[in-house]
Amino acid sequence: MEENVTLFRVRYAETDQMGIAHHGNYLAWFEMGRSGLCRDWGKPYASWEDEGVFLPVVEANCRYKSPARYDEELTLKTSVEEVKAHSISFRYRLFRGDKLLAEGKTRHAFATPEGTLIRKGHPLIDWLKERSAQGPNS
């Protein structure tokens, strides 16, 4: 499956007194990449919700390799790692130039607006499974 590339700069408000990006910002940055990937597919996340599919986070991790600093331009690469019957996992890699700063993963359940796990076929989930099976640039 294709990869979304998001370019952004570390904002002053995202840093600590030493000018280093606070670790809590990485998950928010991952969300930027995930939203961008959905838009690239022609299905912004808001349209998923309109179709009755919500993606609550059930697992998140981030491995920090090198700090990001104030005003650095960063590149976030986001892709789908796996689609299962009831969940989807996204993979994230954050770079400054060619240097890998962090990598992470989030797993999201497919849920109804009421928070109930979607247990049977849903057209949007079926589309997503088919799309991920087709590979890049599908």
Active-site pick, 16, 50, 71, 126: 16
Verify whether residue 16 is a known catalytic residue.
yes
Query: Exposed/middle/buried for 48, CB within 10 Å: 0-12, 13-18, 19+?
Result: middle
Which active-site residues does the annotation give?
A: 16
